[in-house]
Amino acid sequence: MMAVYEATATAPVNIACIKYWGKRDTKLILPVNSSLSVTLNQDDLCATTTARADLAFERDRLWLNNKEEEIKAGGRLATCIAGMRSLRREFEKTDNSLPKIAEYHVHIASKNNFPTAAGLASSAAGFAALVSALAQLYKLPTTPSELSIIARQGSGSACRSLFGGYVAWEMGTKDDGSDSRAVQVAGREHWPEIHALICVVSDIKKGTSSTSGMQRTVETSPLLQHRTSNIVPERMTAISKAIKERDFPTFAQLTMADSNQFHAVCLDTEPPIFYMNDVSRAIIATIVEYNRAAVAAGGEVKAAYTYDAGPNAVIYTLKENVKEIIELVSHYLPHAVPFKDAYGLFAGTQPVGR
Ligand code: PMV
């Protein structure tokens, strides 16, 4: 009987606290600043990808949510597949008994377990799952950090979904991108009390893609230069420390400040980019007031909002406040009730792809 070469892997969505915005190399996807995110629970929001290699396949093919996507020559999908194939080729050279499956074409099928209506960027989970499935198919002895270098070339933020828990993407300094990779700052088990509430404000596709938005910001925003040189390096150190010390108020303040600055940089772009809408801003006001009241009552900051390239809010909070915040958002902003499936999301699970 012929051997079957097939593997399946999953990878969760991640939501950045310190945002990645801007590329210094658009082909290799090298960022202008480091970033840090929390990987969400594997069971709630993830991509599942199956990859199969077969001598009988005539070309590489890929299906996303049952629809075939074109693998354009030189495009991001092709780059990731080629990167993984070349790792397999190197691996085959180290051991003659390994079947020469790097020469076979692959068929890849990927599905998201969350509705597109959630308006969540699925490319991060998608490219991380793609790279993980190929790593398993090829039985590569690679670490998640090594795989993150290839996932990064699919979608920058995908590199952080190779790990669970709290993950930094170190921007690196080398021109070939070999040190621009993800590292785990802390596992989920280090601080499992953190929850992420996803508030779906709109499921309309964003007007400016992250790729074109970033390019415009890099070309036109004077504020971006200040952010990358003077702000983000200190924030990366401070938020890593807050995570290690499980210091929620500091974590929350840095997360909100960085979301604000990312959107300020978008506004500083020519022509300006607006990702948030009035409901997004009303959620900000609600969380600000919630935190003000908590501090006025002698307590501490209890929640942090953050927004990516769209109007939907993610609210980070500790488990004990989840119910209260859902009630608050449901009461004041009935149109932005936290997405049902996201209730009780924990920060990530295990590293994937191994
Ligand atoms: O990886 P991309 O091209 O989808 O860009 C993601 C950019 C943000 O989501 C806005 C920030 C981030 O760090 O995830």
pTM for this predicted structure: 0.93
pLDDT higher at 328 or 150:
150
* Ligand 1 neighbourhood includes 258 CB (under 6 angstroms): no
Q: Can you tell me which atom of ligand 1 is nearest the CA of 309?
A: 10
Ligand 1 mean position to 162 CA, how many Å? Answer: 15
Domain boundaries, the chain: 5-188, 194-346
Tell me, letter by letter, the H, E, C secondary structure of the chain. Answer: CCCCEEEEEEEECEEEEECCCCEEECCCCEECCCEEEEEECCCCCEEEEEEEEECCCCCCEEEECCEEECCCCCCHHHHHHHHHHHHHHHHHHHCCCCCCHHHCEEEEEEEECCCHHHCCCCHHHHHHHHHHHHHHHCCCCCCHHHHHHHHCCCCHHHHHHHCCCEEEEECCCCCCCCCCEEEEEECHHHCCCEEEEEECCCCCCCCCCHHHHHHHHHHHCHHHHHHHHHHHHHHHHHHHHHHHCCCHHHHHHHHHHHHHHHHHHHHCCCCCCCCCCHHHHHHHHHHHHHHHHHHHCCCCCCEEEEECCCCCEEEEEEHHHHHHHHHHHHHHCHHHCECHHHCCEEECCCCCCC
Residue 330 clears pLDDT 90, i.e. is over it: no
ipTM of this model?
Answer: 0.99
In CATH, the architecture of 194-346 is 2-Layer Sandwich (3.30)
What pLDDT, on a 0 to 100 scale, did the predictor assign at position 177? 98
Question: What mean pLDDT comes out for the span 65-85?
Answer: 96
* Ligand 1 neighbourhood includes 155 CB (under 6 angstroms): yes
Question: What mean pLDDT comes out for the span 319-323?
Answer: 90
What pLDDT, on a 0 to 100 scale, did the predictor assign at position 352? 32
* Ligand 1 neighbourhood includes 79 CB (under 6 angstroms): no
Question: What mean pLDDT comes out for the span 45-58?
Answer: 94
* Ligand 1 neighbourhood includes 182 CB (under 6 angstroms): no
Ligand 1 mean position to 99 CA, how many Å? Answer: 38
Residue 45 clears pLDDT 70, i.e. is over it: yes
Q: What are the tens digits of pLDDT across the range 255-301?
A: 999 999 999 999 999 999 999 999 899 999 999 999 999 999 999 99
Domain 5-188, CATH: 3.30.230.10
* Ligand 1 neighbourhood includes 122 CB (under 6 angstroms): no
* Ligand 1 neighbourhood includes 23 CB (under 6 angstroms): no
